[in-house]
A and B are shown apart, each in its own frame.
Chain A
Amino acid sequence: MAHSATRLTRFNMTSLALGLAFLYLPIVILVIYSFNASRLVTVWGGWSLRWYHEFFSDRAMLDAAWMSLSVAAVSATLATLLGTLAAVGLARGERFRGRALFSGMLYSPLVMPEVISGLSLLLLFVALNAERGFWTVTIAHTTLTMCFVTVVVQSRLATLDRSLEEAAMDLGCDPVRAFLLVTLPLIVPAIVAGWMLAFTLSLDDVVIASFTTGPGSATLPIRIYSEVRLGVKPEINAICTLVIALIAVIIVVASFASKLSSARGESAAPL
């Protein structure tokens, strides 16, 4: 029985298959039904690309998709910038007054019910008399996703040996250059992971977006949600399939990129 641990037993095979089925069967069904020719979601009427056509000629839906993607991209970028700075401040900065309070407040969106965050942001925007639309959703998503970036980057920084920065300073770097030349290249994978996490979180958020968006600037999930309330159209399946494909491509590219960067033989150091 020496190698039983590395072999798949029948029990392991079964539980693996059941687990995967539980996770992916609904998605597979959704993808298959997106190619359904029938107007009824639950009745199979043969293969067709009809609902993809429908989507690409649905102006409102395309606008919503574009809105969602740009909100996700902008808010993920802002969140990554701020979240990384917060992580560096918490992991590397001197012990400043209110550090514990700062880190506690930073992580509050992790546990705060989204309804509350959304409502409080709505009240803020109303009080500021800000016109609700792209920027209000973007700001709301930045505040939501920033803490996730901080968590990812901070955990990477925690595993990084502090003497690396000291060595850089010993060899003639001021603290800023030590960070840029040594720390930053080593935490880039975590920053990229943080960005992707923020992007996907923003992409699938309904609650906060519905509080902070305004008329005529619905994000894709809001648009889908409002359509579904009137009955599920097979077009929704097509949209979801496209979103799944997009996310799959991002994940594959990201994992290739990280493999490539670690396998790269020699790096021509800048300067």
Chain B
Amino acid sequence: MPLLRIEGVAKSFGNFRAVDQLSLDIRAGEFFALLGPSGCGKTTLLRMLAGFETADEGRILLGGSDIAQVLPHERPVNMMFQNYALFPHLSVRDNIAFGLRRAGMARRDIATRVAEMVALVKLEGLEKRKPDQLSGGQRQRVALARSLARRPQVLLLDEPLAALDKKLRESTQGELMELQRRLGMTFIIVTHDQEEAMTMAGRIGVMDAGRLVQVATPRNLYEAPASRWIAEFVGDINLFNGQIAARENGRLTVSTAEAGALAVSELWPPVTKEMVSVGIRPEKVKLSRRAPASDAGASQTINRLEGVVTDVNYLGGVTSYRVKLETGAVVRSSMANTARLDVDAYLAGQRVVAWFTADDCLVLEQ
């Protein structure tokens, strides 16, 4: 039995179906991310878990009992709000102690727990400050400490890092993961930032238009997206539309207008439609000056596309190239800058061969 089971939950606002017949299981101790574009229903789902919205249909089982109709203050669940929602009239200490006082904890135990929480989020010495005397990062920590203080069975985090700058966001991601491991608590985070979801979460649920379209580990989500929409939403991808021309031994040949015939390894489950898209991630497209020699002994089949480099963007760790094929289609390639000196760099206008293996291709239904 999972810690949290969401069964056929639906929620509409007027005619707008925010969450549509959604089911999901979350295990105890898991770091789960809900990822999706804005308006996909991920925040509504989180608010239903917190109790701020009531589900029109379905059940939400926490530890086996249905909490779908339980009021927010009676749920063993706490939420960290996107804008932190710190009480401006209370000090850091009183903000953290707020939930403990409501739980009727003894004064001495409250003091101990608050001190523990303050140490956990490294806010020592700031206990008497008011929220408006804190920096954005400090406020984020107070909000975290406040939501953790009651030791909820599940902690819900609504875009917890959206208001922080990039450097702080990255270090806070690490701290959140470390904290979650140490406390062994179940975290459910809502985010629209796929990098954030992939960095922190063990599993990611991708939502689109109120439905859960795929639940997978970060790696599977990226390398084996369940649909063309997910492939485009998560990361960059080159897509070529075409038709399956041949199918043998798990190897497909897809004839495309833009990139000719492409050899593609078939995924499981196999595609059932004839019209497909072949997807290839930019970092899996290599460039070379001459066509790489076909290695007859290897099982790999290589696709080669000739073209001219049109754009070179040096980004530090990687350089991304745009290669224009003779058909006019553009292939994007990104190559790691593994050496400091640019002996391998290509220049705009240069003729190159963009190549990738059949195993690196994704075949997706259109």
Contacts and interface: CB of A to CB of B under 8 A. Distances in A.
A170 B73 CA distance: 5
A contact patch SS:
helix
Interface string A140-166: 000000000000000000000101101
A166 B87 contact: no
Contact of A172 (B79, B86, B91, B103): B103
Interface string A111-133: 00000000000000000000000
A94 interface: no
B90 interface: yes
Contact of A267 (B77, B94, B101, B150): B94
A186 B89 contact: yes
Contacts of A174: 71, 73
Given A172-B73, A271-B101, A164 B87 contact: yes
Contact of A269 (B73, B90, B146, B150): B90
Contacts of A161: 83, 85
B89 A185 contact: yes
A44 B92 CA distance: 63
A164 B90 CA distance: 12
B150 A167 contact: no
A173 interface: yes
Contacts of B88: 186
A177 B71 CA distance: 14
A266 B133 CA distance: 12
A173 B102 CA distance: 7
A93 interface: no
Given A186-B88, A266-B91, A170 B101 contact: no
B77 to A, nearest CB: 8
A163 B83 contact: yes
Contacts of A185: 89
Contact of B52 (A166, A173, A267): A166
B98 A267 contact: no
Contacts of B51: 169-170
B72 interface: yes
Interface string B57-95: 000000000000001110001110111011111110110
B50 interface: yes
Interface string A222-248: 000000000000000000000000000
A267 B89 contact: yes
A164 to B, nearest CB: 5
B91 A170 contact: no
A108 B91 CA distance: 41
Interface residues of B, number: 32
A267 B90 contact: yes
A173 B50 CA distance: 13
B97 interface: yes
B99 interface: yes
A168 interface: yes
Given A169-B73, A266-B91, A164 B85 contact: yes
A173 B73 contact: yes
Nearest to A186: B89
A173 B91 CA distance: 18
Nearest to A188: B89
B81 A269 contact: no
B128 interface: yes
Contacts of A171: 73, 78, 98-99, 102, 146, 150
Given A173-B73, A182-B87, A163 B99 contact: no
A170 to B, nearest CB: 5
A169 B81 CA distance: 12
A271 B83 CA distance: 27
Contacts of B89: 185-186, 267
A269 B78 contact: no
A265 interface: yes
Contacts of A163: 81-83, 85
A166 B81 contact: yes
Task: Pick from B51, B71, B82, B85 the residue with the most CB of A within 10 Å.
Answer: B85
Interface of B: 50-52, 71-73, 77-79, 81-83, 85-91, 93-94, 97-99, 101-103, 128, 130, 146-147, 150
18 contacts: A166-B79, A169-B71, A170-B51, A170-B72, A170-B77, A170-B78, A170-B79, A171-B78, A172-B73, A172-B102, A174-B71, A182-B87, A266-B91, A266-B128, A266-B130, A267-B94, A269-B94, A271-B101
Given A163-B83, A168-B98, 10 more contacts: A166-B79, A166-B81, A167-B87, A170-B73, A172-B99, A172-B103, A174-B73, A182-B87, A265-B128, A267-B90
6 pairs of A and B residues whose beta carbons are closest in the complex: A172-B102, A171-B99, A167-B85, A163-B85, A169-B72, A269-B94
